[in-house]
Amino acid sequence: MYSLGDIVRLLLYLVGLIGFGAFNAAYLSLLERKQSAWMQLRRGPTEVGPWGLIQPVADGLKLLSKQILLPRDVNVPLFLLAPIMVVVPAIVSLVTIPFSETLVAHRYNLGLLMIFSFGAINIFALLIAGWASANKYASIGAVRVVAQNIAYEVPMLLVVIALVMVTSSFDLVEIVKQQGGGCWHWNLLKLGANPMMPASFLIFFICMLAETNRAPFDMVEAESELIAGAFTEYSGMGFGLFFIAEYVNILIGCSLATILFLGGWDCPFGLFPGPHWFLIKMYALCFTVVWVRWSFPRTQFYGLLNLSWKILIPLALVNLLLTAVMLKLVP
């Protein structure tokens, strides 16, 4: 079924993707620190390397050199399993992300579904981390992550279902191909298929922020209330893995938004399509994620759930119905 060449190619891609994920986790954390500094009229890290560019290496070395402490009442196997469970699905999800038409580790006709199913493991991992820590703050953080992720998975999937109805494919490469040839073909502006497309992009983006537990929805961490939430008892690289996974998840979320709504590797004005356009769009979205975090305060928990159940889900349902009606009416 698979030739040796396929397997070697897949392995090379996997190594490359792990490298890509780790590199991005490191430098998105630097971007986060730099950007937050700029927004607060500070300068951010400047001491390590030129303009602080080697700061992530210093951070990584610090985390690696620290001891992983095991508190007394901890459930040891689960406590150690959780960081692995949070980082592996994040890396695996990268496999089906197409950077260009040919630059994709494994083109899979259910790629979109696969990413969502692996994304769901993230919740389990955080729940396990919080529960195994035997710490009240960690437990509260774990309970919150479940409530929050269930609430936000619903509108996100409803929006994606509406999109899949338009594209009639789960294959990410196919979805991007349908959007080729300029920004007026992108799903974001495909108003003929569904006039609510921009709104559904907004819903997707908000849900993506909530799913990756980013501020203003970072109820899991909520450092002013829960110390570090589910990560309270983790030290050293145990914490480091959660940290990496958070940024890789942002990367995946932004990649998905790029692929589903912004035309993937397609150029907005029809010139030189290629992976560089994918990266430009993805990093622009990553920038926006950080921008949102440093603009708004954390919501309260009931506000968070209200937003989902009272606004996002009804709008997503209307969007779904509208798409169905438009599909019937517009041939």
Partner 1 sequence: MINYFKEIILGLRTLAIGMRITFVRMFHHRVTLDYPHKTVTMTPRFRGHVILKVADAKPKCIVCMACQRACPSGCIKLDGEKREGAARKSLTSYTLNFTTCSLCGLCVESCAFDALEFSKKYNLTSMHKEDYQAIDLLQQAGGGK
Residue whose pair of structure tokens reads 């849900």 in the numeric block: 207
**Helix ranges restricted to H, the chain:** 4-39, 55-64, 76-93, 111-132, 136-167, 172-177, 197-211, 223-226, 236-261, 275-293, 301-306, 313-329
Query: Could you say which residues in the range 307-326 bind partner 1, by CB under 8 A?
Result: 311
> Which residue in 294, 301, 313, 324 binds partner 1 (CB under 8 A)?
294
> Which residue in 15, 39, 61, 284 binds partner 1 (CB under 8 A)?
39
DSSP class of residue 52 equals G
CA separation for the pair 329, 331 (Å, rounded): 6
Q: Measured over all CA atoms, what is the biggest interatomic distance in the chain, rounded to whole angstroms?
A: 65
> Which residue in 8, 11, 15, 43 binds partner 1 (CB under 8 A)?
43
* Burial bucket for residue 164 (CB in 10 Å: 0-12, 13-18, 19+): middle
Examine residue 50 and tell whether it contacts partner 1 (CB under 8 A).
no
Q: For partner 1, which stretch binds (CB under 8 A), given 105-113, 127-135, 236-244, 288-296?
A: 288-296
Examine residue 292 and tell whether it contacts partner 1 (CB under 8 A).
yes
DSSP string, 65-105: TS-----TT--HHHHHHHHHHHHHHHHHHGGG--SSSS--S
Total site size for partner 1, rule CB under 8 A:
14
Examine residue 35 and tell whether it contacts partner 1 (CB under 8 A).
yes
> CB of 35: closest distance to partner 1 in angstroms?
7
> CB of 288: closest distance to partner 1 in angstroms?
9
Q: For partner 1, which stretch binds (CB under 8 A), given 63-71, 106-114, 126-134, 290-298?
A: 290-298
Half-sphere exposure (Cβ direction) of 201: Cα atoms closer than 13 Å:
19
> Which residue in 6, 7, 16, 42 binds partner 1 (CB under 8 A)?
42
> Which residue in 41, 76, 271, 329 binds partner 1 (CB under 8 A)?
41
Residues in touch with partner 1 (CB under 8 A): 35, 38-43, 46, 291-292, 294-296, 311
